[in-house]
Amino acid sequence: VAMAATRSVMRAVRVFEFGGPEVLKLQSDVLVPVPKENQVLIKVHACGVNPVETYIRSGTYARKPALPYTPGSDVAGVIEAVGEHVTAFKKGDRVFSLETVSGGYAEYAVAAVNRVFPLPDKLDFRQGAAIGVPYFTAYRALFQKGYAKAGESVLVHGASGGVGLAACQIARACGLKVLGTAGTEKGMNVILRNGAHQAFNHRDPNYTERIKEHTGPEGVNIIIEMLSNVNLDADLQLLSYAGRVVVVGCRGRIEINPRDAMSKESSIIGVSLFLATEEERRECATAVLDGIEAGWLKPIVGLEYPLEKVAKAHEDIICSSGARGKMVLLL
């Protein structure tokens, strides 16, 4: 593959040591990676920012990349070059990715061809960068781990962020009764426009009582939980008999009473997209691409940052109050 047309260096964010947002260094002389066999090179137009990337950067997460590295997995852009044996894509194709090999916070990224998907014209690059991790995680949480079925009820706890909105859209499209929580009036309006039948403000001190009033004595079948270190104890009180709390996000420890799980034979199930098998990932991809085609999968883009403001983005995704959509870096 002729690479002569591509610039040989690019701007990319590099992490040389684990730590706070300040360890994210924007460099302008990083070599453009070359795609190997079954890989593609993407000219990145937008890259999603996920909470997990802040945990990895801080060095406290189970997965530690070798230093230095470039964070980022959800990119959207245009194929610049393809490696050997790649037939699914050609130069100029619009795509989005679920993972990258070289890191997404950069002007160019290499990704394995089976982690890259066509981006239809009806979605822009910002929306493309909001699909990968959020929608695949939401689908895995609901169906592969939560065993959701049409007719069941689901509470999406923290529904206005990237994964939360994805969960609302998917659950609604698949016939579930969808309840969501958000921390602001605007957040509640966003989730109601994106699949939730009912919204609750989790800053209201009595909001769990309001949810109980709404669900009645049977409770809710599934809870998709973004902040389990705050909510897990209360979640167990909201579940139905044989209900499931599916833990998507956590920022610390929490004390619970296991008797709450015993009295309803309920389950607490953890989710990690990184542990999905190839077959499970294919199932997620099929559901996501079908959703785009059917029109119910509409990524909501929240805060947008240029690459040089990446440290601020990492600070805001953890500290800012009330998410509304998926945070993206624009290139």
Q: What's the pLDDT tens digit per position in 95-145?
A: 999 999 999 999 999 999 999 999 999 999 999 999 999 999 999 999 999
Backbone phi and psi for residue 171, each to the nearest 5 degrees, phi listed first: -60, -40
Residue range 192-238, pLDDT digits in tens:
999 999 999 999 999 999 999 999 999 999 999 999 999 999 999 99
Token pair of 274, please? 């990184």
Token pair of 206, please? 């009595």
Q: Which run of H or E residues covers position 120? A: none
Contact predicate 203/227, CB 8 Å: no
pLDDT band, very low/low/confident/very high, at 281 (cuts 50, 70, 90)? very high
- Beta strand 239-247 pairing with 94-97: unpaired
Token pair of 223, please? 């809870």
| Residue 322, pLDDT above cutoff 90 | no
Token pair of 260, please? 């709450």
pLDDT at residue 323, rounded to an integer: 74
CA-CA-CA-CA torsion for 69, 135, 187, 322, nearest 10 degrees? -20
- Percent share of the chain, pLDDT over 90: 94
| Residue 7, pLDDT above cutoff 80 | no
pTM over 0.75: yes
Q: Name the residue type at position 112.
A: A
pLDDT at residue 5, rounded to an integer: 54
| Residue 170, pLDDT above cutoff 70 | yes
d(CA 13, CA 26): 4
Q: Hey, what domains does the chain have and what are their CATH numbers? A: 9-130+299-330 (3.90.180.10), 134-274 (3.40.50.720)
Residues with Cβ within 8 Å of 135's Cβ and at least 6 positions away in sequence, in order, are 166, 170, 284, 288, 291, 297, 299
